[in-house]
Amino acid sequence: MFYNNKLLLKLKKKFTKNLPPIKGFVKILNKKLGILETDKNNIYYISSVYFKYIMEGDYILANIENNDDNKLQVIPIKLLKSNVNIFQGKIKKKNDIIYIIPEKKILHKNLIKCYIKKDIKNNFKDGEKVIAKIIKHPLKGDSMFIAEITEYLFNNEYLMPWWEVLLKYNLSIEPPSNTLCEKIKLLDDNIFRKDLTKLCFITIDSKDTKDIDDALYIEEISEEKILVYVAIADPTAYIQKDSKIDKIASQRMFTNYLPGLTIPLLPKFLSENFCSLKPKKKRPVLICKMIINKNGFLSKKIIFFTGWIKSNAKLNYNDVSDWLEKKGTWKPKNNEIKKQIIFLYKFYLYRKKWNDQNIINFNNTNYKFIFGEKGYILDIVIEEKRIAHKIIETAMITANICASEILYKKLGFGIYNIYYGFNISKLKKLINLLNEYNIKYDKKFLMTLKGYKTIYNKIYDLKSSFILNRIKKYQLITLFNTKPGPHFALGLKRYATWTSPIRKFGDIINHRLIKSIIHKSSNIEKPVDDIYINMNQKRYLNKQAKKDLSNFLYLQYFKNMSIRNKIFISEIIDILFIGIKVRFIENGAYAFVPKKFLCTNNIIINQEKGLIFNKQKLLYKVTDKIKVIIKKINIDSIIVKII
């Protein structure tokens, strides 16, 4: 009735003329119809006339207008974000011009003209599979869609599962090109750098690590104090703010560590050569100088400065751990290096006293896939955190605490890691759980740093893995922010990292800010307001990609091994109304016990408390260790039965 009301339609046309542009996601339904869906779930039509300017999944700015049928439609005017940057497709040649047909339909015509990356072969044949990325888009001022072929799949087809997962989350599948470094040079050679190349700095990392970003040197001041130098690789000495490399890094945000594949934040020429703190190579660094006393406390006198160092040795975690634990045959090659390892261990023991009083250790077990040729899984092992790992981790956390304070006191902003502990919306359930164990505190106390530490200390005293598991459900996650905030798990009022600038863009930002403080720069720019939102989103996507890929690799692993009647000792990690979720202790695989396999009609499942009863008798609880056998491997899950 209202649709045919002519007066109403005239009013509608009048008002749409003055409407502001709207934002939304593009969906192409068929050859003639597309829609724009806004964040508030409003739907607007897109005429097929505009299909040549848009792509499936584009987040765009558009103007509203009325068409001849008096339907509200939109005119695309600007690309805000593309959800399809990298994609898989097949080659199609026409008149000596190379096109790519995307595997998934993303365009109306679905045929995109291609350029070829310099280091990729160019004698492609029709039908060959490639990976490409969109480099030109009409809504960014270009005349048409153009893609660049970045990967030829013939030689690396075994990596397809990795690429498919990365493409699913619109993540990069390759390192930034080394061609970006062709004109690289030291940018800040006019600033003063203290020459510490004569000091015996050492690095400790994994045996195969090439992007070495931290080195340490320690002097003993007295029996009760030590002086610690933490030197961190300085990529900002080479990367100009807002340069092409900088913009690419700001899009990636992190080096993406996946089982069997690492996608670096920076071009390898930078991360593994120019910036890497290789032994016997003079490198520009940012240094934190601090004093630690025998009780683990930091002196108030913390100094940051720029410098030059030359690492004396690249050591690996296992060798150093073996030597400290008096195992194996490895030993330091000279007395200077030996002294540094002894001092580092002393530093760790000093700092451990502070850590034990302030840091909450969750003691999660990590697992590592061991690969052979072309992605074949040889084994899955527990990745043990040994003493050398703990020494370096402690040094980096301590140096980060120093950076947090200088950023807070001098600027009041930076890139901070924020963790507020318990979720305020779940505090009632948490209080009910704690009351069952006679741990009684109110909401206000639980939302404080002291309250968080107190609760964990009480639970550790009870030695209850069950309660520790249950309270995980009531916790928040760590987030990035440009404003200082507490990190409850580290027992700190604020925490900002700067020790991994080769691997984290947020650390690059903090490097620039710290260097601005050192050199007393005027008009220091605050990071753009939405950068921490992009960081949080990218870290989430990286974690999802790692989770998906790990699940796929576990399924492949079990398909290739003899599992008939093999018994797996597992821990119950969650109880649901539909069954039990378990994790194999031997290799970390997740599996599911359906409710129908629990063998009784009198079963009562309490999902909230993580308990299963048979009548009044407790049958299973979260953290119980049980024996299971694999009954079925589905496309996305492992189904097991308790024996």
Band (2; pLDDT cuts 50, 70, 90) = very low
pLDDT over 70 at 43, yes or no: yes
| Cβ neighbours around 292 below 10 Å, total | 22
- Whether residue 405 contacts residue 302, with contact meaning beta carbons closer than 8 Å, is answered with yes
Q: Using CB atoms within 10 Å of the CB of residue 364, give its burial: 0 to 12 exposed, 13 to 18 middle, 19+ buried.
A: exposed
Beta strands, E only, 415-469: 416-418
555-580 pLDDT per residue, tens:
999 987 787 789 999 999 999 999 99
Whether the predicted model's global pTM rises above the 0.75 cut: yes
Per-residue tokens: 483: 């404003």
- Whether residue 273 contacts residue 538, with contact meaning beta carbons closer than 8 Å, is answered with no
Per-residue tokens: 331: 């030993």
pLDDT over 60 at 6, yes or no: no
13-38 pLDDT per residue, tens:
544 456 788 999 999 888 788 999 99
Q: What local confidence, expressed as pLDDT, does residue 561 receive?
A: 79
190-210 pLDDT per residue, tens:
789 999 999 999 999 999 999
Nearest to 499 by CA among 230, 182, 278: 230
503-532 pLDDT per residue, tens:
999 999 999 999 999 999 888 989 988 899
Please determine whether the domains at 86-155 and 562-642 fall in the same fold group of CATH: yes
C-alpha 24/C-alpha 39 separation (Å) is 6
Beta strands, E only, 82-152: 86-94, 97-102, 112-116, 129-136, 146-152
Q: Which numeric CATH code is attached to 86-155?
A: 2.40.50.640
Q: Domain limits of the chain?
A: 19-81, 86-155, 181-417+488-526, 420-476, 562-642
Q: What share of the chain is helix, strand, coil (3-state, %, to 5)?
A: 30, 30, 35
| 562-642 CATH fold | OB fold (Dihydrolipoamide Acetyltransferase, E2P) (2.40.50)
**C-alpha torsion angle, residues 365, 370, 375, 377 (rounded to 10):** -90
Q: What local confidence, expressed as pLDDT, does residue 155 receive?
A: 63
C-alpha 288/C-alpha 290 separation (Å) is 6
Band (137; pLDDT cuts 50, 70, 90) = very high
Band (119; pLDDT cuts 50, 70, 90) = low
Phi/psi zone of residue 95: left (φ > 0), alpha (ψ -120 to 50 degrees), beta? left
534-561 pLDDT per residue, tens:
999 999 999 999 999 999 999 999 987 7
What CATH class does 19-81 carry? mainly beta
Mean predicted confidence (pLDDT) in 114-119: 78
Strands 43-47 and 86-94, sheet pairing: unpaired
- Whether residue 181 contacts residue 273, with contact meaning beta carbons closer than 8 Å, is answered with no
Catalytic residue numbers, as ranges: 205, 211, 213-214, 317, 503
CA angle, 177 then 183 then 187, to 5°: 110
377-418 pLDDT per residue, tens:
999 999 999 999 999 999 999 999 999 999 999 999 999 999
